Amino acid sequence: KVSQTALRAIPCRALGLLTRLRRLLLSENGALETIGPGAFSDLPELVELTITKSRHLRYIHPDAFRDAGKLQYLTICNTGLRIFPDLTKIRSAAHGFVLDLQENSHLQRVPANAFRGLCSQTIREIRLTRNGIKEVASGAFNGTKMHRLFLRGNQELTSISPQAFAGSSELVVLDVSFTALSALPHPVLPGLRKLMAESAFQLRELPPPELFARLRQASLTYPSHCCAFHRVRRNRVGAAGSCGDLLVGHPRWLWPPAGPGGAPCAWSPELRRTATSTGTSAPTPAPSAAVPAQDAFNPCEDIMSSLFSRVLIWTVSVLALLGNAAVLLVLLGSRSKLTVPRFLMCHLAFSDLCMGVYLVVIATVDTLTRSRYYNHAIDWQTGLGCSAAGFFTVFASELSVFTLTAITLERWHTITHALQLHRRLRLRHACALMAAGWLFSGVSALLPTVGVSSYGKVSICLPMDVDSLASQIYVVSLLLLNILAFFCVCGCYLSIYLTVRKPSSAPAHADTRVAQRMAVLIFTDFICMAPISFFAVSAALKLPLITVSHAKLLLVLFYPINSCSNPFLYAFFTRSFRRDFFLLAARFGLFKTRAQIYR
């Protein structure tokens, strides 16, 4: 051990007399700057060499390790090296060679042929962890036979050349955790048995799972990536229940990290059977789970998990878009006076049109990512598209509920004060009311984009994140406001019903008929929202009663159904709308005969 010295250089053959030296540790030599040629050449029995904690070491001569034939462990750690050391002249013949080159923050590039000539046998491990490596050049591992390669912790590593592993062989373990890689090197994937890519947040898309022909264990960053291996794994004999499980592992160096007493921490069923047949006692297995495990919010499925839900969402979205666009076109194109009910109906049609936009976006993304959603989940759920879709749906749903409540209040006020014309709601009052509704809906939809809940929690981009107290308050508050609006509607129509039944205060026959029709329609709309509110409140209180898969179907069945039914119930089936439609069409030369009936 050579430690805490004032050495500035290790010259040629400095240790030449120590011919039987087997282990050498150079540690905490703060003044050490260079290691000269042949510094360790005359040590024929040297097995282990460690150079560490020498922050001023800038240069190691290419001949420093020449012909170290028995060297088995080489560690160069925590130095000031700026150029990747030349290791090609070591020419070790030792079995199980381990190279540990880590925490050298100034090393930025792994050059071509960096390990050619390092060892004539298969290298057990090459650890290039926590350096400053930014690039692995083409042919970097050319001529290298190695089992395990660790690039973990190189946080600026953005590129591994597609040809970096050209000429290399036998790689079965690859660790690229805590790097900035956006793609994996395809040539080595077919032979890998273990892949570690934890906290590799830029690695958002995996190669086709078929390339991982021999993969048995994967520790990944995103839960959705584990789904890529489910279908492939089902077809393999002896497959375990998750992509984080160790499925087979006969070579001992592929087993999980040793636990107390040196036993593996987790044994797969296949490995356990092998151990039993050979007389080895398998320890009690640790609980097996995918790494990372798929959570309840992101099951391994497409956005729409069934053909029925796909057909339904396209049907509802097309009806919502066409129906509400037609209502807006007729109402805004009509020459009739803009009354308060017509004004409110325009807002209702616009909010339902926004819901249709949301449904089309979700349906389109589902179509484009069908059977491959696992590779697009991260980009979609963390991207601008999901945030925009979520904004549209929250804005649309809240504005729709607000407008329906406003319509109900307007009808209640008109009927209960039918004989007091001076107390009727004016257009300016409706404008102020809807301005408040737009402001409320806009703020409600904007909050998840600034950290209060999140649209990226689930694939359908609804604010289902209730992890924080603020998020939980936000979600529960919206649901309670919707429930309150429902009871407000019920109360108003109960009052209207009682008013209509009083002969002494019976309003005009037309108003009574409209009120009764709208009572049935609006009450039906809110009944459709009841299942959503019930299950959503339970989920917001962290007492979910249904899974996300079932929630998607429920949302497609009930959540947007009003958006496609409102144009028919509130407009197409009413005489006033038909009158406006035929009169508008007659201006373009269509349905002139029918239009004459309404003139």
For the segment 346-362, the average pLDDT, to the nearest whole number, is 92
Q: Are the CB atoms for 73 and 49 separated by under 8 Å? A: yes
Residue 501 has pLDDT above 70, yes or no: no
Query: Do 29 and 165 belong to one domain?
Result: yes
Residue 383 has pLDDT above 70, yes or no: yes
Give residue 467's identity as a one-letter amino acid code: D
Residue 515 lies in a domain: yes
Residue 312 has pLDDT above 90, yes or no: no
Given the structure tokens 């036998």, which residue do they identify? 170
Pairing of strands 146-150, 173-175: parallel
Determine the distance from the C-alpha atom of residue 39 to the mean position of all C-alpha atoms in its chain, rounded to a whole number: 52
pLDDT class of 272 with cuts at 50, 70, 90: very low
Domain that holds residue 347: 307-597
Task: Give tens-digit pLDDT for 528-538.
Answer: 666 566 656 66
pLDDT class of 389 with cuts at 50, 70, 90: very high
- The whole-number pLDDT of residue 264 equals 31
Q: How many CA atoms, within 13 angstroms, populate the side-chain half-sphere of residue 380? A: 24
Q: How far apart are alpha carbons 375 and 396 in whole angstroms?
A: 29
Q: Are the CB atoms for 229 and 249 separated by under 8 Å? A: no
Q: Is the dihedral of CA 56, 60, 64, 69 positive or negative?
A: positive
pLDDT class of 279 with cuts at 50, 70, 90: very low
Order of strands across the sheet that contains 146-150: 2-3, 23-27, 48-54, 73-79, 97-102, 123-127, 146-150, 173-175, 194-196, 217-219
Q: How far apart are alpha carbons 3 and 26 in whole angstroms?
A: 6
Residue 261 has pLDDT above 50, yes or no: no
Residue 496 lies in a domain: yes
E strand or H helix at 574, and its extent?
A: none
Q: In this predicted structure, which of 79-88, 198-207, 267-276 has the lowest mean pLDDT? A: 267-276
Q: Are the CB atoms for 300 and 550 separated by under 8 Å? A: no
- The whole-number pLDDT of residue 262 equals 33
Residue 240 has pLDDT above 60, yes or no: no
Q: Is the dihedral of CA 543, 548, 554, 555 positive or negative?
A: positive
Residue 387 has pLDDT above 80, yes or no: yes
**46 vs 13 pLDDT, higher one:** 46
**540 vs 591 pLDDT, higher one:** 591
Query: Do 195 and 46 belong to one domain?
Result: yes
Which among 70, 42, 71, 69 is positioned nearest to 51, based on CA atoms? 71
Query: Do 188 and 324 belong to one domain?
Result: no
Q: How far apart are alpha carbons 183 and 202 in whole angstroms?
A: 8
Residue 212 lies in a domain: no
Residues found in the chain: 599
- The whole-number pLDDT of residue 212 equals 87
Measure the CA angle with vertex 552, ends 551 and 555; round to 5°. 85
Q: In this predicted structure, which of 71-85, 205-219, 493-507 has the lowest mean pLDDT? A: 493-507
- The whole-number pLDDT of residue 265 equals 30
Residue 223 lies in a domain: no
Residue 269 has pLDDT above 70, yes or no: no
For the segment 174-182, the average pLDDT, to the nearest whole number, is 94
Query: Do 399 and 547 belong to one domain?
Result: yes
Mean pLDDT: which of 279-288, 297-306, 379-388, 475-484 is highest?
379-388
For the segment 418-426, the average pLDDT, to the nearest whole number, is 65
Listed residues 185, 201, 217: the one ending a domain? 201
- The whole-number pLDDT of residue 95 equals 92
Which among 152, 110, 157, 111 is positioned nearest to 134, based on CA atoms? 157
For the segment 39-58, the average pLDDT, to the nearest whole number, is 89
Residue 299 burial (C-beta neighbours within 10 Å; 0-12, 13-18, 19+): middle
For the segment 256-272, the average pLDDT, to the nearest whole number, is 34
Q: Quick one: tokens of 484?
A: 């309150």
Query: Do 328 and 194 belong to one domain?
Result: no
- Structural domains in the chain (count): 2
pLDDT class of 248 with cuts at 50, 70, 90: very low
Residue 243 has pLDDT above 60, yes or no: no
Query: Do 20 and 149 belong to one domain?
Result: yes
- The whole-number pLDDT of residue 283 equals 37
For the segment 182-204, the average pLDDT, to the nearest whole number, is 91
pLDDT class of 457 with cuts at 50, 70, 90: confident
For the segment 21-40, the average pLDDT, to the nearest whole number, is 89
Q: Look up the CATH number of the domain holding residue 22.
A: 3.80.10.10
Say what percent of the chain tops pLDDT 90. Answer: 33
Contacts of 102 by beta carbon, 8 Å cutoff, 6+ apart: 77, 78, 127, 128, 129, 130, 131, 153
Q: Look up the CATH number of the domain holding residue 342.
A: 1.20.1070.10
CA distances from 204 to 153, 209, 307, 403 (A): 18, 14, 27, 41
**319 vs 506 pLDDT, higher one:** 319
pLDDT class of 13 with cuts at 50, 70, 90: confident
Say what percent of the chain tops pLDDT 70. Answer: 78
Listed residues 201, 220, 246: the one ending a domain? 201
Residue 371 lies in a domain: yes
Residue 167 lies in a domain: yes
Residue 260 lies in a domain: no
Give residue 83's identity as a one-letter amino acid code: I
Query: Do 575 and 440 belong to one domain?
Result: yes
pLDDT class of 252 with cuts at 50, 70, 90: very low
Residue 239 burial (C-beta neighbours within 10 Å; 0-12, 13-18, 19+): buried
Q: Are the CB atoms for 548 and 299 separated by under 8 Å? A: yes
Query: Do 373 and 508 belong to one domain?
Result: yes
- The whole-number pLDDT of residue 503 equals 53
Q: How far apart are alpha carbons 75 and 102 in whole angstroms?
A: 8
Residue 399 has pLDDT above 90, yes or no: yes
Residue 516 has pLDDT above 80, yes or no: no
Listed residues 201, 226, 257: the one ending a domain? 201
Residue 226 lies in a domain: no
Q: How far apart are alpha carbons 77 and 54 in whole angstroms?
A: 8
Mean residue pLDDT of the chain comes to 79
Query: Do 413 and 542 belong to one domain?
Result: yes
Residue 554 has pLDDT above 80, yes or no: no
Q: How far apart are alpha carbons 365 and 363 in whole angstroms?
A: 6
